[in-house]
Amino acid sequence: MYDLLIKGGLVADGTGAPGFLADVAITGGRIVSVGPDLPGEARRTVDATGRLVAPGFIDPHTHFDVQLLWDGAAKPALEHGITSIVPGNCSLSLAPLRAGDRPGVIGMFQQIEEMPPEAFTQAFDWTWEDFAGYRAAIEPRLAINVAPLVGHSVIRQWVMGADAQQRAARLDEITAMGDLLRDCLEAGAVGLSTSFVDVDENGRPVPSRFAAFEELDGLCAVLGEFGRMLQIVPEFYDVDITIARIDQLADLSLAHGIPTTFSPVFDSQATPDAAPRALARVEEQFARGARVWPQVQTRPIDISFSLLRPSLFFARLPRWVRVLRLPLEQRLAALTDPSTVERMIADAGPDGGERLMGALIVRGGDRAPAGLAGRTLSSIAAERGETPVRALLSLSLENGLDVAFLAASRGHDDTARIGPMLANPHVHIGASDGGAHLASFATYGDTGYLFSEFVRKAGALTLEAAVKKITSDTAEIWGLKDRGVLREGLAADVVVFDAATIGRGAERPVFDMPGDGMRYIRDAIGIDTVVVNGEIAWSKGAYTDAAAGTICALN
Amino acid sequence: MIADGQAVIVGAEITAGHDGQAEMVVRVRHENGVVAPVVLDGCTGFRLMANQGVGDLAALVGRPWRELLQQTILARTSRDDDDNDGLGGLNDV
């Protein structure tokens, strides 16, 4: 008798092969058979008629390191069909970390993840210092699989103390870092992450940015002993520097026999040559035999702002810039001065700001009335009998300026350009940043968006190719053993979804972080069932009590 | 203001940054004729506009890039604090 039988679905097995009608039989957390009309009984059966059955999706760029300590499902990632995640990106992990170094690293995490301080003081007990200890702390409650990176910044911090954020390392320190990295890899780390961009909560470069090339080379030599991944955040705002980093990664990949990956790669109408140039260089380096995987995200980038802080969103409105750059008290005085307000309103155009501001969305999660969240300024203005520009000003003033507005899809938003990038065999779909930027935007639902926008709407990828991209391709790139394909003998990570509707819900604020902290999320659309290591973890809109996740075994 | 024989700004736009904040992309034509973008975060973008005394992106076109770079990025001083940006105060709005 099988433990679980998923019957009658169209199986896209992760290889990119055309889908085929089949059952998937699971026993002991493993797939035991895939084929049509499988004989035999099962303890549980999932009717997948009319649904697509695929390997669980794998998200290679997340920051769930902290959340996993109280939420083993990395919600809402799992309900979007994601069964494996890679945390520890961008040079930051929660281990190895000495107790005395925790405050500094917490500050770095808060800068990146925007997580409330209570997350670090109330939600879990610090029971570890080394990487094996962190693994032991998260493993018992995992409902999702985890392939954790170890952060270069915390390795530096461990070996160099305060000097980690001040200078390059000596040779003996590089050796010590290598030994520490080796311990982490032996404890299950999937690789090393580093950053050339990130800053701490005080705006200082994170420790990894003080490393000389010799240090990175030495650490990559250790990665080479295991064939594990190097992940970096390059200076993505400058394509020429990014290309130089691609060349550096290629040299490290070839010298040490390791895979490397970098993120993010953005497409922008303001810099239309940037992403194509970076990807062209990647192609050249793959032709040399290097493995340099660029991560391209599916979702567009939005601009968000409130009148609490000046935003370049108003850069084309000089008077607005001047007002919003005033100290708060003077700014409030200006925003309540009738003559100033009338001039600002006039600047927004004869249409009352409809063209400039009408499509702005009230985000919620702040002092804005909850009922306004998700609505356009145009519709709110109509309801209030105001023009959009006057509604923006009055709504802000009524709520202490603490009303966040969102200008949707202002970057990385040209589907016709991004679709072919995602389909490129040398492009790694990733960079979701799940678990980070909590108070800025939702980092969930990128996989649903891949299907809704680039498969169904644009036809840039076939359904099977899209599945392959976020399952077997990812498993192969990262060396995740026995995952990414629906095949006998492999781990039973499965997602059952409606190919006609899979997508992502609207961004919405929730207050489910420790200390009632706020974050933006997106709900899953079209996902019926998510199976992790043979256990149903999500079904018909609800999480189960299953905790079958594990630390991913590696090739 | 048009600068000859040196790197000049030939365009400026606002775009969305990785963190959801608005950023400024300045396109610079260098001395060798190459046009390349430079991405500035919000604070730097505002300082650049302030140091040049402009309140409109279009007014940056033709400005000498090296001079701006020196004033805005390489020589950041207390004068460039957010509250003292040279864009004018309440009486100017």
3-state SS of A398-441 is HCCCCCCEEEEEEECCCHHHHHHHHHCCCCEECCCCECCCCCCC
Q: Identify the band that residue B54 occupies on the pLDDT scale cut at 50, 70 and 90.
A: confident
| Higher-pLDDT residue of B53, A151 | A151
SS3 A536: strand
Which residue spans of chain A are classified as CATH 3.20.20.140?
Answer: 58-72+86-135+151-300+412-481
Is the pTM here over 0.80, yes or no? yes
Beta bridge partners of A52: A10, A497
Burial of A395 (0-12, 13-18, 19+ CB in 10 A): buried
SS3 A185: helix
pLDDT at B86: 43
- The domain ranges of chain B are 8-77
pLDDT at B90: 44
Stretch among A208-217, A308-317, A469-478, B46-55 having the lowest mean pLDDT? B46-55
Nearest CA in chain A to B28: A271
Q: Do A315 and B36 touch (CB under 8 A)?
A: no
pLDDT score of A110 more than 60: yes
pLDDT at B79: 41
For residue A86, give both structure tokens: 């890679």
ω before A96 within 30° of 0 (cis)?
yes
pLDDT score of B92 more than 80: no
> How far is C-alpha A429 from the chain's CA centre?
11
For residue A2, give both structure tokens: 């099988």
- Which residues in chain A have Cβ-Cβ distances shorter than 8 Å to B38? 238
ipTM (interface predicted TM)? 0.76
Residue carrying the six token digits 């702390």: A137
pLDDT at A122: 87
Contact B8, B63 (CB under 8 A): yes
* Fold of the domain built from segment(s) A58-72+86-135+151-300+412-481: TIM Barrel (3.20.20)
For residue A160, give both structure tokens: 């160099």
pLDDT at B77: 45
* Mean pLDDT across chain A: 95
Q: Identify the band that residue B57 occupies on the pLDDT scale cut at 50, 70 and 90.
A: confident
Pairing, β A361-362 against β A405-411: antiparallel
Phi, psi for A503 (deg, rounded to 5): -175, -160
Contact A174, A213 (CB under 8 A): no
Burial of A414 (0-12, 13-18, 19+ CB in 10 A): middle
What one-character DSSP code corresponds to residue A56?
A: P
Q: Identify the band that residue B75 occupies on the pLDDT scale cut at 50, 70 and 90.
A: low
- For residue A350, give every residue at least 6 positions away whose Cβ sits within 8 Å of its Cβ, in sequence order, or none: none
Helix axes A171-186, A131-138, angle to 10 degrees: 30
Q: Do A325 and B85 touch (CB under 8 A)?
A: yes
The DSSP string of B9-67 is EEEEEEEE-TTS-EEEEEEEE-TTS-EEEEEE-HHHHHHHHHHHT-SSGGGGTT-BHHH
Phi, psi for A363 (deg, rounded to 5): -85, -35
For residue A185, give both structure tokens: 């890899």
Contact A541, A496 (CB under 8 A): no
pLDDT at A92: 95
Q: What is the pLDDT of residues A428-455, one digit of tens each?
A: 999 899 999 898 899 999 999 999 999 9
pLDDT at A36: 97
The DSSP string of A319-369 is HHHHHHTS-HHHHHHHHT-HHHHHHHHHHT-TTTTHHHHTT-EE--SSSS-
Contact A463, A427 (CB under 8 A): no
Pairing, β B22-29 against β A57-59: unpaired
pLDDT at B51: 82
Compare CB distances from A303 to B20, B25, B45 and report the shortest one's residue. Answer: B20
Nearest CA in chain A to B53: A318
Across A237-256, average pLDDT:
96
Nearest CA in chain B to A113: B19
SS3 B83: coil
Q: CA-CA distance, A316 to A28, in Å (whole number)? A: 61
pLDDT at B93: 57
What one-character DSSP code corresponds to residue B31?
A: T
Contact B5, B64 (CB under 8 A): no
| Higher-pLDDT residue of A397, B19 | A397
Max CA pair span of chain A: 80
pLDDT at A269: 86
- For residue A479, give every residue at least 6 positions away whose Cβ sits within 8 Å of its Cβ, in sequence order, or none: A190, A227, A228, A229, A259, A554, A555
What count of other Cβ atoms lies within 10 Å of the Cβ of residue B41?
A: 16
Sign of CA dihedral A53, A54, A59, A65: positive
> Which of B10, B18, B25, B69 would best serve as a mutation to test chain A binding (most A beta carbons within 10 A)?
B18
Q: Do A411 and B83 touch (CB under 8 A)?
A: no
Q: What is the pLDDT of residues A359-412, one digit of tens each?
A: 999 998 899 999 999 999 999 999 999 999 999 999 999 999 999 999 988 889
Q: Do B37 and A303 touch (CB under 8 A)?
A: no
pLDDT score of B80 more than 70: no
- Which residues in chain B have Cβ-Cβ distances shorter than 8 Å to A268? 15-16, 25
Compare CB distances from A270 to B15, B42, B89 and report the shortest one's residue. Answer: B15
Phi, psi for B38 (deg, rounded to 5): -130, 130
- Name residue A328's amino acid: L
Q: How far is CA A378 from CA A2, A7, A362, A545, in A?
A: 55, 47, 10, 43
Q: What is the pLDDT of residues A285-307, one digit of tens each?
A: 999 999 999 999 999 999 989 99
Residue A504: which H helix or E strand, with range?
A: strand A503-504
For a pLDDT cut of 90, what percent of chain A falls above it? Answer: 87
- Which residues in chain B have Cβ-Cβ distances shorter than 8 Å to A310? 42, 46, 82
